[in-house]
Amino acid sequence: MVGELIAGRYELEKLVGSGGMSNVFRAHDRLLERTVALKILHEQYTRDEDYVERFRREARAVAQLAHPNIVTVIDRGEQEGRQFIVFEYIDGDNLKELSNRGPLEVREAIRLTLQVARALSFAHERGLVHRDVKPQNVLLNEDGQAKVTDFGIARSLDVHGVTQTGTVLGTSDYIAPEQARGQKVDPKTDIYSLGVVLYELLSGEVPFAGDNFVAVAMRHVNEPAPSVLERRPDCPVRLDLAIQRAMSKDPEDRFESMGDFALELEACLAEIAGRGDEGATMIVPAPRRPRRTRSHERPAVVMPLVLAALVVALLAAGAFLLLHTGGGGGVLPGGGSSPKPVRLSGVASYDPQGDGNEHTDDVKDATDKDPSTAWRTESYKPGGFTKDGVGLVLRAPRAVALSKLTVHGEGTPSSATIQASDSPSGPFTTVSDRKNVAGTVTFSIDTNGKDYDYYMVWLKLPTGEGQALISEVTAKT
């Protein structure tokens, strides 16, 4: 096909990429005298209206996305039954090729991921989820600017496309748990995948490896996100926490939006700049990289859930035999009832026997995963604490029955119980025994099976004086 003239305008010069659905050529646009990228649907798919529609949908979807970090669609058409899309040509590496050379410097990894996050946030705001976020789909131009490409399996949020629930689309190294199960995806699916990409840029490897698609996908479903600090001790704790939040198994525990993820990355970048590496406060632009011919497309993996279920069943059967033949303990994939972390948010203070305000502005500091910040009670003079207690009110992402709640207490030793309610203003029901809070204390919670939206740490200063602090609260179901 090299040398062929498409639509009387685009002369194919070189095959630069080949994927499961299409080939990508570098081409010369004779009309405007410029180099472009031409994606042509494989001939065997031109007779399948579903594939043709998916191909057309990609062109329509990306044509709506005019953003500096998204590859621009120039044209689309058909010649002798062959469908094609014309993109701007990016002559440079992709993020996968970059990370294969070794871990990136921290601020460079954040800078590139932030550009991708902004691009995806822009797409999400227009109702489009990418669904195959991976470093191979992020191109780098000669100025080191990231450009998201290959929306080939993207899907509109308000249109039922040709790919329905029950089919897994994506690449297993970056696949979100709900996507691996063949469940409905939404913008939070892209948040998970971008968290994996950032982990790889920092560590030089993907968080979960395996021999095949199913093995890797099941690790994404069942195993907690590893800490990047194990590979990169120089990584800021805040950035590690951002990655772990983005890679939460439950979409409800991830960032509320890709825009929120981008804001947190901006804060991490500002924090690094604020440290003043040898007095520098400006972020140095990425050096220009040598021009290279690169592949513009990698195949998306398509696997029916039936196959996945079959393999999982076999794995489960093997684990069952192990457990019942003295081969050691284990957890079946996707099974068991092991506790799951629940991300709580500090939302209010509770002081019904006082002025109703117990440092309310600081309640968020008890759940920001930063041990250097804390919610605190008022500072009471001797004999000044005569109330039954004061409380820190925490909101769960959804109604849930907690089993454990851990309080990291500081300041004047105090005692506490955990209480629960359906409202931040009560009434509250006590769901734990009373314990002394000095250092780190874990409460066992008994809600009698009832799910609650709000939990409260109800504190009392036994000596009647001093100031109690809570630097962090964590919980599990």
Per-residue pLDDT, averaged over 318-331, amounts to 39
Please check whether residue 114 is in contact with residue 63, taking contact to mean a CB–CB distance below 8 angstroms: no
- Exposure class string for 202-226: b at 16+ Cβ within 10 A, else e: bbeebbbeeeebbebbbbbbbeebb
Cα–Cα distance list, 411 to 43, 376, 406, 465 (Å): 71, 9, 17, 11
Instruction: For the chain, list the domains and their CATH numbers.
Output: 5-88 (3.30.200.20), 95-308 (1.10.510.10), 341-476 (2.60.120.260)
Nearest to 236 by CA among 402, 389, 84, 109: 109
Burial of 477 (0-12, 13-18, 19+ CB in 10 A): middle
Mean pLDDT of the chain: 81
The values of phi and psi at residue 348, to 5°, are -165, 165
Residue among 1, 154, 136, 29 at smallest CA distance from 88:
29
Give yes or no for residue 192 having a pLDDT over 80: yes
The tens digit of pLDDT for each residue in 264-307 reads 999 999 988 876 443 333 333 343 344 344 444 444 444 444 44
Amino acid sitting at position 123: A
Residue 171: predicted pLDDT? 66
Question: Is the N-terminal amide bond of 427 cis, ω within 30° of 0?
Answer: yes
Predicted pLDDT at 324 = 42
Give pLDDT tens digits for 440-450.
899 999 999 99
Q: At residue 37, does pLDDT exceed 80?
A: yes
Tens-digit pLDDT profile for residues 137-162:
999 988 889 999 887 544 544 433 33
User: What distance, in Å, lies between the first and last C-alpha atoms of the chain?
Assistant: 59
Task: Look up tokens 């050529």; give the residue.
Answer: 25
Amino acid at 344: L
Using a 10 angstrom Cβ sphere, with 0-12 exposed, 13-18 middle and 19 or more buried, the burial of residue 266 is middle
For 71-113, the pLDDT digits (tens) are: 888 888 888 878 888 989 998 889 999 999 999 999 999 999 9
**Is 240 a catalytic site residue?**
no
At 38-81, the pLDDT tens digits run 988 887 777 777 777 777 776 777 777 889 999 888 888 888 87
160-174 mean pLDDT:
52
* Predicted TM-score of the model (pTM): 0.56
β partners of residue 128: 156
Query: Once rounded to an integer, what is the mean pLDDT over residues 212-227?
Result: 91
Query: Which entry of 132, 150, 173, 190 is annotated as an active-site residue?
Result: 132
pLDDT band at 248 (very low <50, low <70, confident <90, very high): very high
Q: 54: left (phi > 0), else alpha (psi -120 to 50), else beta?
A: alpha
Looking at residue 152, its pLDDT comes to: 53
Could you give the CA distance from residue 378 to residue 393 in angstroms, rounded to a whole number? 16
Instruction: Write out pLDDT tens, residues 368-426.
Output: 888 788 999 999 888 888 898 999 999 998 899 999 999 998 888 899 999 999 988 88
Closest by CA position to 21, among listed 301, 289, 211: 301
